[in-house]
Structure 1
C-alpha cells in the first residue's frame, strides 16, 4: 500500500500550483498537520464539517480543498465552529491541505480553465494583464446569444445562472472568474468584454452590469469551483498511486 506524509503531499502541490508566487487571502498548503501517514485522500470544495465527516467515513487521512481555514481578518482563536472542525481533524488523524488562488489560476486544472473548457470558451489572455498567474481570464467563442450561453452554463453546472442582460444579441468576448469575483466587472468592461461569468452577484453588480453594458452571469460560487479540487485529486492519484475520492457537498450559493 502506498503511503505519503502530509508534508510530502503539500510540497508536491505547492510546486505544481506555484503556490509561493501568489499573494492570497489565506495560507496555501498544509493548514492542519495531523502527522499521519496518508493512504487515502478526500478532495472537495470547502473544508466544512460535512466534508470532514465524509473523510472520517471513508477512512481518509488527508483532505485537499479549495476553501480552507485561517482567512485574513477572521478571529484567530480555535473556538466555536472552527475549533470543532480542527479538533475533529486532529482527533481522527486527518491533515488539511488547501489552495485558494493557485487553484483558480492554474492554466490546465484551475477552476477558470476548466470552466472555460466546459463552456467551449477559448482563453486568450488575462483579465488583469500584469498578473503573472491570472486569477481572471478573457475568453472568446463563436458568436452566441446570451440565452444560449445561459443554457450552456445551466447544462454544464446543473443550475440556471442569474443573468443580468445588457440587450446585446450576440456575445463573443467573455470575461470569467469563478467564485466571488463580481467586483471585477469594471475591469471586464475596461478590457472590452461583452459579458462576464462569475460565481456570485451583489446588489451593486446589477447596476454595474446595466451601466457598463455587459451581460453578467452569476453561476454560483460552489458550482463554478467544483472542478479544480477534483482535477488536482486526479493529478495526485496519478503521481503518487494513491486512492483519491472527490466528495461534493451540495451548496446552492
Structure 2
C-alpha cells in the first residue's frame, strides 16, 4: 500500500480535523513510500522503534507521537535519537492522539468500556459530543472492591482505588483513559458512582472523599493500550496489512 493511501485511510477513519489537539495528528516523520509491515504501540519510544526496526516495519502507528505543544523545538538528545532511528531506517511515523481517544468504536474510551463490560450512555461533557470522557452503566451494581478487582484483572495492572465517603455500590460510571483525573469533579457533580482514569493527582483523593465518588486509577499506559491495538486489527482485517501490536510495558 502507498503511504498516501495509508494516511488517507487513517484520516477517514479517525477524522483528526474534528477536534483541536496538543500535537499534529497524522504523518509526523516521513519514511518509505510503500507500507506493508506496520508496528503499533502506545508511545513512539526508542524501545518501540528498536522493535519496529528489528521487525522490518515500514510504518509505526502510535497514540503518543512527537511535537507536543510547548515542548522544546530543537531536535537534540532523546528527540534526535528517536527521529534519526526512523529516518535511518526509512520508517514512517503516524500518531493520533485525541482522535484515537474519542473514536466511537475503536477509540481508547470505547475499547476500555468494552473490556470492562460498561454500556456507554453518552459524553460526560453533556454539551460536547466529542467529549474525551464518557459515561455508562454496569449491568448489575457492584461494590468498589469487586470493581477494582475487575479492572485489575482486565488490565493486568495494580489499581489505585479511593472510595467515596459513603462507599456506595457502583452502577453508573464515567471514565477518561490516560491522564483524565481532572474530570472527576464533573462526574461527581452529575451524581455518578465511580470515575476511572489512568492517573491520580494529589487533590484527587480529597475530591473523591468529599464529593462521594469512587475513584480508580489504572495506569495511563494500561488504559490506552486498546485503541491503537484495535485500529491495527481493523487495518489488518480490512486492508490485509501485516500489523503487529508491540506493548512496551510502562508502570505509569
What range is the shorter-chain TM-score in? over 0.9
Q: Which runs of 5+ in 1 are unaligned?
A: none
Contact in 1 for aligned 2:123/2:129 (Cα 8 Å)? no
C-alpha contact (below 8 Å) 2:32/2:58 kept by paired residues: no
Structure 1 Cα separation of the partners of residues 117 and 4 of structure 2: 37
- 1:114 positional shift: 1.0
Separation in 2 of the partners of 1:208 and 1:10? 42
Report if the CA contact (8 A) 1:7-1:30 is conserved.
no
Show the counterpart of 1:222.
221
CA distance in 2, matches of 1:68, 1:74: 12
Counterpart position of 2:237: 238
Q: For 1:15, what is the secondary structure of its paired residue?
A: helix
Q: What TM-score does the superposition give when structure 1 sets the normalisation length?
A: 0.96
Aligned to 1:160: 158
Report the aligned-residue RMSD. 1.0
Asked if 1:148 corresponds to 2:138, the answer is: no
Distance 2:229 2:157 in 1: 19
**Count of residues in correspondence between the two structures:** 250
Change (3 A) 1:169 1:132: closer
**Number of the residue aligned with 2:35:** 38
Task: Write the distance in 1 (CA, Å) between the matches of 2:126 and 2:102.
Answer: 13
Contact 1:36 1:94 in 2 (8 A): no
Q: Secondary structure at the match of 1:173?
A: strand
Whether the 8 Å CA contact 1:189–1:212 is kept in 2: the answer is yes
- Deviation at residue 27 of structure 1 after TM alignment: 0.8
Aligned-partner Cα distance in 2 for 1:32–1:191: 42
1:1-253 alignment, distance < 5 Å:
4-141=1-138, 142-166=140-164, 167-253=166-252
CA distance in 2, matches of 1:169, 1:223: 26
> Hey, what's the Cα distance between the residues in 2 that align with 1:7 and 1:221?
31
C-alpha distance in structure 2 between counterparts of 1:144 and 1:104, whole Å: 26
Aligned to 1:52, what secondary structure does the other structure show?
helix
CA distance in structure 1 between the aligned counterparts of 2:111 and 2:131, rounded to whole angstroms? 14
Deviation (angstroms), 1:242: 1.2
Is the partner of 1:245 in helix, strand or coil? strand
